Amino acid sequence: AAAAVILRRRLLLSSPLASSSSSSRARRIFSRAMDSSTTAAAVQHAAAGGAAAGEYEEVLGRLSSLITQKVRADTGNRGNQWDLMGRYLQILELEEPIARMKVIHVAGTKGKGSTCTFTESILRSCGFRTGLFTSPHLMDVRERFRLDGVDISEEKFLKYFWCCWNKLKEKTDDDIPMPAYFRFMALLAFKIFSAEQVDVALLEVGLGGKFDATNVVKSPVVCGISSLGYDHMEILGNTLGEIAGEKAGIFKKGVPAYTAPQPEEAMVALKRRASELGISLQVVDPLKPHQLKDQHLGLQGEHQYENAGLAVALASTWLEKQGHVDRMPLNHTDPLPDQFIRGLSSASLQGRAQIVPDSQVNSEEKDRDSSLVFYLDGAHSPESMEICARWFSHATKEHVSVFSLIRVSSMGHIADSSIQLHVCERSYEIASTSR
């Protein structure tokens, strides 16, 4: 199984468009970076008796068959088609389990995955059993489903996959087709978290909010909106107000909502929707460094203090609503409780301001000043690219003598003049430096 995981990573980078010597070198470097950070875990998994590689590959193939060829702006992605989610829940007998689930629901353009990760880590440090659903995955689909901070095992993943797949295959037809890829993933997450009896389920919205598959949750405990910007405009709208209106679709009557600071146009739209529902919408300030008692956030970059502040508000409200007032922060300015700090400082998420030393090269280097380090970040909008650049500049400072920033674009290939790579799902920036 470990060999299969590594092989899939290498095949991902074997595009026929990347045949030049410089591209081949880039593929080798990128593959080493990924393997340096994940191979040990894969080997441990194999030693523990991982599921047969053939079955796992079969499942990946079936998942791929659910990827729709529709243009993303096709109206079939919305409206009545979204209503099919209710039928899927009936088929899988998930309506009651979802109603009992204690959900934290987060939408946004930037930082929603980081916010969910921080929140999950805080509540896990407080002693709760957690389920975390995020997207996209970087190397392995199981990254989307975390139980107690760890990617779901292959054994459990296969078990719950076949349970959902077989029931849906049996009950779907031309009138009720199989769910598209992300909808199946959301249904699978609900199945996993309900079966595993998590105390709290953290759901990152995939796209927008109002018509997102995760929005079948009717009564979350608390909702959050991370930083908003221009993205997926062909679906969500051409103005920040329109985009914010779609994101605010996760708001529910009677459910408290929080937002990171937003541009005025976006804030007006969020407040309008909150007012229509008669709910409170509180703006959360970024976390202050002194609140961490000299500890550092587990996710790097100055922008993460904004996501961490939102996460603290979401976790605190969840604790309050579940009757755990004794574990909440005393106020918004004093240092946080130790379990909050422990959660924020230990949070991890691949591909978000991630620094990966190349252990293979560095172990061979005689000159300690010439080690090879990769700086990875999934920025995919102009605003995120600016933040990524600031983080990269701060992280490397004057120690960087040479670097290359490779942009790998969603569902295609965009790169600098010397490199072209193929990758699906989302943009990633891979920055490599020689010190």
Nearest CA to 180 out of 218, 217, 211 is that of 211
Q: Check: CB of residue 357 under 8 Å from CB of residue 339.
A: no
Average pLDDT over residues 367-376: 71
pLDDT value of position 416: 37
Q: For 279-304, what is each residue's pLDDT tens digit?
A: 989 999 999 999 999 899 999 888 89
Q: For 72-131, what is each residue's pLDDT tens digit?
A: 444 444 434 788 999 999 999 999 999 999 999 999 988 999 999 999 999 999 999 999
List C-alpha distances in Å: 323 to 327, 328, 341: 10, 10, 21
Average pLDDT over residues 333-342: 92
Q: How far apart are CA 169 and CA 178, in angstroms?
A: 7
Beta bridge partners of 105: 203, 223
Residue 212, pLDDT > 90, answer yes
Q: Check: CB of residue 19 under 8 Å from CB of residue 60.
A: no
Query: Which domains are present in the chain?
Result: 5-9+353-410 (no CATH), 78-346 (3.40.1190.10)
pLDDT > 90 in the chain, percent:
54
List C-alpha distances in Å: 277 to 129, 145, 221, 382: 31, 31, 15, 33
Average pLDDT over residues 385-392: 82
Q: At what angle do helices 84-91 and 181-195 cross, to 10 degrees?
A: 40
Position with higher pLDDT, 179 vs 387: 179
- β-strands 200-204, 103-107: how paired? parallel
List C-alpha distances in Å: 347 to 117, 121, 122: 6, 6, 8
pLDDT value of position 28: 53
pLDDT value of position 365: 57
Residue 138, pLDDT > 60, answer yes
Average pLDDT over residues 46-50: 47
Mean pLDDT for the chain? Answer: 79
Residue 206, Cα to own-chain centre: how many angstroms? 9
Residue 262, pLDDT > 60, answer yes
pLDDT value of position 237: 67
Task: Give pTM, 2 decimals.
Answer: 0.79
Least confident range from 49-63, 147-161, 405-419: namely 405-419
| Amino acid (1-letter code) at residue 282 | Q
pLDDT > 70 in the chain, percent:
72
Residue 14, pLDDT > 50, answer no
